[in-house]
Amino acid sequence: MGLSRRELMRSAGVLAAATGFGGLALSIGATAGAQTAEKQAVPDLPWPYKKIDPLVVAEAAYAGYYKGACCYGVFEGIVGQLKKEIGAPYTLFPSTLLVVGQGGVADTASLCGCLNGAASAIFLVTGAMESKKRELPYTIIQEVFNWYEQTELPDYRPKTPKFDIVKSVSRSTLCHVSVTKWCKVAGFKAFSKERSERCAWLTASVAKYTAELLNSHADGAFKMAHPLTAATKTCRTCHDKGSKREDTRAMQDCGGCHFTPKAKTAHPKL
Ligand code: HEC
Ligand code: HEC
């Protein structure tokens, strides 16, 4: 091609230099890229936790309810604070996912969205894949669920509420039961603005209690304060895991569905 040996050497040198330089640039690029990728890689659970202010969480959850509903409100009330305190990996989490818990999952009124959001937040910071390591997060979650069944709620009044809200006891973790029992006490309809505000207060209440539990867990001081009721424990001795009949998995207040004045199931042996 008419290139002299010298020219060939020169262009090879330029090429070598270019490759060297280019290669270096590439490897810098690759290292920087790898570091960024490493920083951005979503780690497995549990994610790091720092104590957060339960009152700040409650207010954020209340606002979150009016943005993405109950489940999102509780979750983002907590995780939003961790985003501020810790940053990544929390900043990488698409909290919009939690919107689907709305109204007992997709508005079907099954598991209360507040509880769904609380369970998700708890598992995010204390959970793990190994089945042995699920025991602690599950205990914290069960504490929130039992507290919810047994306590007069909502027990947090937001700073600037839209209405004043009366309390009720659900004896159930179901959105349907919880809402309907409140409607009976309050005298408002299930699709009223007041009921919506009640669920916003409930979102704040559940987020606050969950943050308190996570904080006490961070201090190594978590204890279950709300075990199943004595009546429910009695039922489970004959019906739950390890019992002779073992015909239920219900780790919840049995009386919420069985033996209520209206939804009565006559017990043959009691
Ligand atoms: C001492 C043991 C014992 C305890 C405690 C107990 N059960 Fe039972 N339960 C039984 C037995 C035995 C049967 C089945 C009776 C039969 O089929 O004749 C039964 C049946 C039932 C049934 C089915 C009823 C039906 O219509 O077929 C329900 C629901 C039930 N129990 C709920 C409860 C709940 C809720 C509690 C607690 C409030 C409870 N049980 C406590 C022993 C117990
Ligand atoms: C969310 C409502 C709900 C809760 C809470 C609940 N149950 Fe039930 N349970 C049901 C329904 C619905 C059935 C099915 C009734 C039917 O077969 O018609 C049932 C059935 C049963 C049966 C009958 C099983 C059979 O063989 O017929 C037993 C026993 C039972 N439940 C025990 C319990 C116990 C014990 C608890 C508390 C630890 C409990 N349940 C909590 C709704 C509930």
d(CA 204, CA 155): 9
User: Nearest bound ligand to CA 270?
Assistant: 1
Contact 112, 120 (CB under 8 A): no
Query: Residue 88: exposed, middle, or buried by beta-carbon count in 10 A (0-12, 13-18, 19+)?
Result: middle
Q: How many CB atoms lie within 10 A of CB 125?
A: 21
| Ligand 1 atom, smallest distance to 244 CA | 12
Rounded distance from Cα 248 to ligand 2 centre (Å)? 7
Average pLDDT over residues 226-232: 93
- pTM of the predicted model as reported, rounded to 2 decimal places: 0.86
Tokens of 229: 């009721």
For residue 253, how far is its CA from the centre of ligand 2 (angstroms)?
11
Output the pLDDT for position 261.
67
Extents of the domains making up the chain? 54-218
Please give the share of the chain, as a percent, with pLDDT higher than 70.
Answer: 81
The alpha carbon torsion through 211, 213, 214, 215 (nearest 10 deg) reads: 80
CA-closest candidate to residue 143, choices 242, 251, 236, 231: 251
Nearest CA residue ID for atom 22, ligand 1:
267
Q: What is the per-residue pLDDT for 33?
A: 45
268 lines ligand 1 (CB under 6 A): yes
Beta carbon of 250 within 6 Å of any ligand 1 atom:
no
Res 9: pLDDT: 42
